[in-house]
Amino acid sequence: MLNLLFSSPIAFAILAVVLVASITIHEFAHAWAADHLGDPTPRSQGRITLNPLAHLDPLGTLAILLIGFGWGRPVVFDPYNLKNPVKDAALIALAGPASNLILATIVAVAFKLGLLGFLGAIGASAIITLIVSLNVMLAIFNLVPVFPLDGEKILVALLPRTTAIEYSQFMRRYGMIVLLFLLAPWSGNSPISRLISPIIGFITNLLIG
């Protein structure tokens, strides 16, 4: 990512803006869903906003600049304020990835309808591809059912109660270790990349061809 800063500052700036905006929308969606489902915690913490400063994590932002991928500040919610804690927690978790897929779809459709012609002078096709692919990647990556990713809460809501409790307890204890293992490169590619890359590619091609 830093190499891109020196080789193409404009491309670096575009990539950074797209990543920050995508992560902001992702975290805002979590906060909005929790607020909509009855928990005032995100609102009291100033998270019901599209201001990136409310959602960016310092270390996650640094990772964006260094490696081209990062994360936002997790949205905190109180399950005791929810009518159905397990189901509603899954809906709150799903809101983040869903927002990225919705954004990717809106941008792709708008481009195909010729509504983004003003980007032509700076390479519309490349920018649209970047926005769509990054948002699809954020969505699919976060749907992996490993703590602390969103997919873990979604899977817990779908499992039988006893299995869900056991899985949740295991993930709270070992989830970060499992995630680090999945992210570690093996023979050039990480296990998680082998798992989700075909899905990301399929959805991206479906949206933009």
Region at 147 (left for phi over 0; alpha for psi -120 to 50; beta for the rest): beta
**Residue 61 vs residue 37, higher pLDDT:** 37
DSSP E strands in 26-117: the ranges are: none
Q: Is the pLDDT of residue 29 over 90?
A: yes
State mean pLDDT over 86-112.
94
Catalytic machinery residues:
27
Average pLDDT over residues 14-28: 89
The distance from CA 37 to its chain's CA centroid, rounded to whole angstroms, is 20
| End-to-end Cα separation, the chain, in angstroms | 26
Model-wide pTM > 0.85 = yes
pLDDT exceeds cutoff 60 at 5: no
What does residue 190 show for φ and ψ, rounded to 5 degrees?
A: -85, 155
What is the pLDDT of the chain when averaged over all its residues? 87
Determine which helix (DSSP H) or strand (DSSP E) holds 177, and give its type and residue range: helix 161-183
Percent of the chain with pLDDT over 70: 89
At residue 185, the pLDDT reads: 81
Interior angle at CA 80, CA 172 and CA 38, nearest 5: 115
Distance CA 64, CA 127 (A): 17
pLDDT, position 119: 58
Q: What is the pLDDT of residues 148-175, one digit of tens each?
A: 999 999 999 999 999 999 999 999 999 9
Q: How many helices (H) and strands (E) does the chain have?
A: 9, 0
Cβ contact 180:174 at 8 Å: no
Residue 208 binned pLDDT confidence (cut-offs 50, 70, 90): confident
For residue 189, the cross-strand partners are 186
Most confident of 4-8, 45-49, 192-196: 45-49
pLDDT score recorded for residue 2? 57
What's the pLDDT band for 9 if we cut at 50, 70, 90?
Answer: confident
Alpha-carbon distances of 105 from 77, 86, 129, 134, 193, rounded to whole Å = 28, 28, 11, 12, 22
Residue 123 pLDDT class (50, 70, 90 cuts): low
The whole-number pLDDT of residue 118 equals: 59
Assess whether pLDDT exceeds 80 at residue 190: yes
Residue labelled with tokens 């769509």: 132
Question: Is the CB of residue 64 less than 8 Å from the CB of residue 16?
Answer: yes
Q: If you average pLDDT over residues 38-48, what whole number do you get? A: 95
